[in-house]
């Protein structure tokens, strides 16, 4: 399947919230996404199947560093390489914005996400005890240095 990628706008937020709520045990709310699409210090990259949003990734920007707090591929599109493609597209955009290092946290039990991040080149840099709620769980902290 051929996907296209672009920055999200306010018009995409309802679709993003629907994917988030179907996927996450502690979902972000609408205001979190509105803030991200309207901020100079954040962006959301969306993957489109025709006009439908199939996945998204949120980045906070504090150049030269960035944080990836939320990435979700809609369930029907998982396991087809979309997570990889979404992150690869985002890395190009991040590089253009002067970012050289990306940080994230991931649940210890979230094997699909941990494998995706490792595949992209993220490395484990530490652990945060009891970082998550619902259910309570430790986080693995990871970082990626973007090559010049």
Ligand X SMILES: CC(C)(COP(=O)(O)OP(=O)(O)OC[C@H]1O[C@@H](n2cnc3c(N)ncnc32)[C@H](O)[C@@H]1OP(=O)(O)O)[C@@H](O)C(=O)NCCC(=O)NCCS
Residues found near ligand X in the complex (CB under 6 A) = 23, 70-73, 78-84, 106, 110-113, 115-116, 119
Query: What's the closest the beta carbon of residue 120 comes to ligand X, in angstroms?
Result: 8
Q: Is the dihedral of CA 74, 120, 118, 79 positive or negative?
A: positive
- Please say which residue, 7 or 119, places its beta carbon nearer to ligand X: 119
| Nearer to ligand X among residue 40 and residue 61 (C-beta) | 61
Shortest Cβ 63–ligand X spacing (Å):
22
> Closest residue (Cβ) to ligand X?
83
Give least dist CB 89 to ligand X, A. 12
Which 8-state DSSP code applies to residue 122? -
Positive or negative, the CA dihedral 121, 88, 106, 68 is positive
Choice between 13 and 122, CB closer to ligand X: 122
Q: How far is the CB of 20 from ligand X (least distance, A)?
A: 9
């Amino acid at each position: 399947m051929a996907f296209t990628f672009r920055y999200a706008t306010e018009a995409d937020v309802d679709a993003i919230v629907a994917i988030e709520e179907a996927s996450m045990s502690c979902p972000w709310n609408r205001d979190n996404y509105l803030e991200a699409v309207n901020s100079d210090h954040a962006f959301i990259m969306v993957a489109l199947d025709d006009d439908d949003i199939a996945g998204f990734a949120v980045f906070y920007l504090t150049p030269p560093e960035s944080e990836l707090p939320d990435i979700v591929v809609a369930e029907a599109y998982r396991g087809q390489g979309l997570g990889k493609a979404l992150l690869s597209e985002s890395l190009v955009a991040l590089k253009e914005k002067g970012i050289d290092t990306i940080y994230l946290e991931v649940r210890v039990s979230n094997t699909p996400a941990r494998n995706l991040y490792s595949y992209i080149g993220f490395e484990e840099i530490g652990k945060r005890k009891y970082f998550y709620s619902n259910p309570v769980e430790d986080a693995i902290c990871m970082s990626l240095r973007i090559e010049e």
